[in-house]
Amino acid sequence: MVVDDSAVIRGLFIRVLEADPEIRVVASAANGRIALNQLKRQPVEVVVLDIEMPEMDGLTALPELVRAQPGLKVIMASTLTRKNAAVSMEALAKGAVDYIPKPSATSEVYSNEGFSRELLAKVKAHADRGRRDGTAPALGSGSGAAAPAAPVAAASPTTAYRPRTAPAAPAARKAAAPATAAEPAAESAVA
């Protein structure tokens, strides 16, 4: 789930994340209150949460989100200022698992390849860590079957992470490239 009051930043974060075939953004929110309501309807593995937002800021929303879904991994995102660095440290003490500094201008999200790599690496690492801790990926279905991929509306004020469906059947993958014991058995799922 991407939570930021700026529709532009939300959209940029979502595009960076969805550029990776292992990540599926299934919810977003413009503030902490909307995020909390979204989380109650759609469990997720990772939330990228802005600090400064109207109505319910990230620091206020953080403990509510974690209480609503124990085991949730929250990565705080904010511009790198002295004040926000202190707030990020407080967020880590309140249950956030990581922090990522947002680029100071929206154009830097795409021009700063390091930011994109860092965002992707942190989201994947924390989603993987959640599954190693025994939590299941958010599939959105209680049937045990893989849920269909949820569409992401660009204009929607609300977006979360859902694992992408497998790109090919096992036989097709074997034909494309021989499997080895050293290869990972499945793609990382981020919900």
Domain range list for the chain: 2-176
For helices 58-68 and 32-41, angle between their N-to-C axes, nearest 10 degrees: 10
Cα gap 130→70, rounded to integer Å: 11
What CATH code is assigned to 2-176? 3.40.50.2300
Cα gap 86→102, rounded to integer Å: 15
- Digit-by-digit pLDDT tens for the chain (191 residues) are 999 999 988 998 999 999 999 999 989 999 999 999 999 999 899 999 999 999 999 999 999 999 999 999 999 998 877 777 788 889 999 999 999 988 766 555 556 678 889 999 999 999 876 554 444 333 222 223 333 333 333 333 344 444 454 444 444 444 444 444 343 333 333 44
Contact 61, 39 (CB under 8 A): no
- Cα angle: 81, vertex 11, 138; to 5 degrees: 100
Q: What token pair was written down for 178?
A: 């021989």
Cα gap 131→58, rounded to integer Å: 24
DSSP for residue 190? B
pLDDT number for residue 113 = 77
Q: Residue 78 pairs with which residues in a beta bridge?
A: 101
pLDDT number for residue 86 = 84
